[in-house]
Structure 1
Amino acid sequence: MPNSASFFPHAPLSEAPSVSIIALCHNHAPFLREALDSILAQTYPHLEVWLVDDASTDGSPDILREYAARHPTWHLLLLPENVGNCRAFNTALLQSEGELVIDFATDDVLLPARVAQQVAQFQAADTVVGMVYSNCELIDEAGHSLGLHHRPNGPSQLRPAPASGWVFAEVLRRYFISTPTMMMRRACLQSLGGYDDTLAYEDFDFWVRASRDWQFLYLDEVTTRKRKHPRSMSAKAYQRHDPYLASTIRVCTKALALARTPAERAALAVRLRWELRQAVRRHRYAEARALSQLLGQTTRLTLLDRALAAWSKLLE
């Protein structure tokens, strides 16, 4: 169990904690009304809503203005230039006040009991819990179901298997958290200084840095509908010239510095090998060489590791 967690202020939540929903929009006009209506449908009453538009060009700002006018307690931030998800989120986070925070992409949908269920989970949990996540339903552009993120895999088992508690090694080793389902404790975010806004995406970095000193809890409920479409952030990963792989390398570098035990370094090696193979398969040879160098600092390279590194250097 980490020892440094005691250095952070783990105060209990109030009896009815406020929840900041930071709704981030960038060219989500086809999905935006459904997303915002799902905020209005929440059964939990203590909400602070921030509508943040990251310089959309598709008419999204007009829809956001309409909803902000109809709901005067909602806050509206129309950013004049595209700054990316991490910086857009931090802009609202610094001005918001909720004890708990949801990073809500407005191409997704919140189910009505989402906030109430996760607040109840936090209230029943130890103050060292920094994030609660759950299951979600995957949907396509038209809203048709594509199945669940955590799928049944035999009696009382799910795939990917969720993990709770001190999960630092698990978040290094594998992908199992559905990002849109996360509810975060403000104290946890503050202890990290918010998202790292120099990165192209937020979730892996948050998982690595937060799980070092905070516990994560899985709520076995479907709370969210996550939309998969060609313009989503996750669909852009590993494409030619995308910035996501470079961010992953930076997060893995942070993870190596945070790893304290051989088991944690072994878990990171699993991640690095997977990323290395993805980089080679996508012809991202410079990134593959950087991943190979990191892997060499984590564990002894196998013959296949060395072959991939040599191949990447030859073709770069």
Structure 2
Amino acid sequence: MQNFPLVSIICLSYNHEDYVVEALNSVINQTYPNIELLIADDCSTDNSVEKIHNWLQHHPKVHFLANEKNLGNTKTFNQLAKKATGEYIIDLAADDVLLPNCVEKQIETFQKTKYKNLGIVYGNIIEINQDGAFLRNYYTELDEPKSGDIYSMVIGRTTKICSVSSIVKKSVYEKIGYYDEELAYEDLDLWIRASRVFDFEYLPEIVAKKRETPNSLSAHFLYKNNFKTKQLNLSTLKILNKAYCLNKSKKEHQLLLGRIRFEMFKFIKARNIKLLIKLFLLELKVRIKSF
């Protein structure tokens, strides 16, 4: 590797006292030599802040932000991302873990790429349980993660992307905007907006571990009559409306129809009738455009 551009890793903690030190150590132990670590705690109600302060005694130069009230992931991330000075940014949840050569492999992919408009590199991960035991690989031989213009892949949900496996050029955020702070989750919206403008490249290696717990965000999508579930479904509706506006062809609308019908199952399961009606109306608009 000829040069080592600065990589900013933003670690977001919320009630992650059992895992945050492992996540932070995974950043410090990277084989890549030029990393800026920024930590934020979003007003945890457990001992996460104490754990972070104890860790910082051995790493006093690391930037730490402790929110006085809960702002949510999107607002908290944006605060630190705008302060980050790296050419590249990684969004790391404090219950996930980067493998030691993660950043080195990602930057090497950027430096060797054939894509002139590359904005994001993403790789494979291992999913683990609360105790760190192996559950599954994120991508298997049945999946076909794409490189280049992956907009169709993203809106059609043929293959999903895991945010902890990705590294994003800061210039991507500067061009398309940072996380939408009105959303309860951010990754799908970012992939859709970014893939409309930038190329992606898939790195066919395992670069991180993602932890699944009963409190993981993904567990809340199917809860019935739950406030958090409603916020997630509302965010999904907003993201799908954005995709509708970004689509440029009948084929893209046909792909979006498939994703809308997939999301309908979640809305029905969660019994969000008002949002389900709005999703049906969007489905009708997209169906007309797909003819």
Matches for 1:111-122 after TM superposition, within 5 Å:
111-122=99-110
Residue matched to 1:282: 270
How much has 1:183 moved relative to structure 2?
Answer: 0.5
Listed as ranges, the gaps of 5+ residues in structure 1 are: 1-13, 152-157, 302-316
Equivalences for 1:9-28 in 2 at 5 Å? 15-28=3-16
Post-superposition offset of 1:46: 0.3
Could you tell me how far 1:67 is from its partner in structure 2?
A: 2.1
CA distance in 1 between partners of 2:95 and 2:81 (Å) = 20
Identity of aligned residues (%): 34
TM alignment of 1:50-199, pairs within 5 A = 50-125=38-113, 126-151=115-140, 158-174=141-157, 175-199=159-183
**Equivalent of residue 199 in structure 2, options 215, 220, 223:** 215
Distance 2:78 2:119 in 1: 17
Which has more radius of gyration? 1
- Give the match's secondary structure for 2:277: helix
More divergent stretch after superposition (231-240 vs 105-114): 231-240
TM-score, normalised to structure 1's length?
Answer: 0.86
Q: Report how far residue 278 of structure 1 moved.
A: 2.2
Structure 1: which amino acid aligns with 2:268? V
Query: What's the Cα RMSD here?
Result: 1.4
- Residue deviations 1:166-218, cap 9 Å, x none? 01111001042122111001001111221111100110100110000001111
Contact 2:127 2:211 in 1 (8 A): yes
1:263 partner letter: K
Counterpart contact for 1:101–1:185, Cα < 8 Å: yes
- Residue number in structure 2 paired with 1:291: 279
Q: Structure 2 unaligned segments of length 5 or more: list them.
A: none
Q: In the TM superposition, what is the alpha-carbon distance from 1:145 to its structure 2 partner?
A: 0.2
Cα separation, 2, equivalents of 1:282 and 1:84: 22
TM-score (norm 2): 0.94
- Once residues 55 and 284 of structure 1 are traced to their aligned partners in structure 2, the CA distance between those partners, rounded to angstroms, is 29
Q: Give a deviation string over 1:54-80, Cα, whole Å, max 9, x none.
A: 001111011111222311221001111
For these two proteins, the number of residue pairs brought into alignment is 282
Contact kept? 1:167, 1:216, Cα under 8 Å? yes
Q: Are 1:233 and 2:235 an aligned pair?
A: no
- Runs of 4+ that moved beyond 4 A: none
- How many angstroms does 1:294 deviate by? 0.5
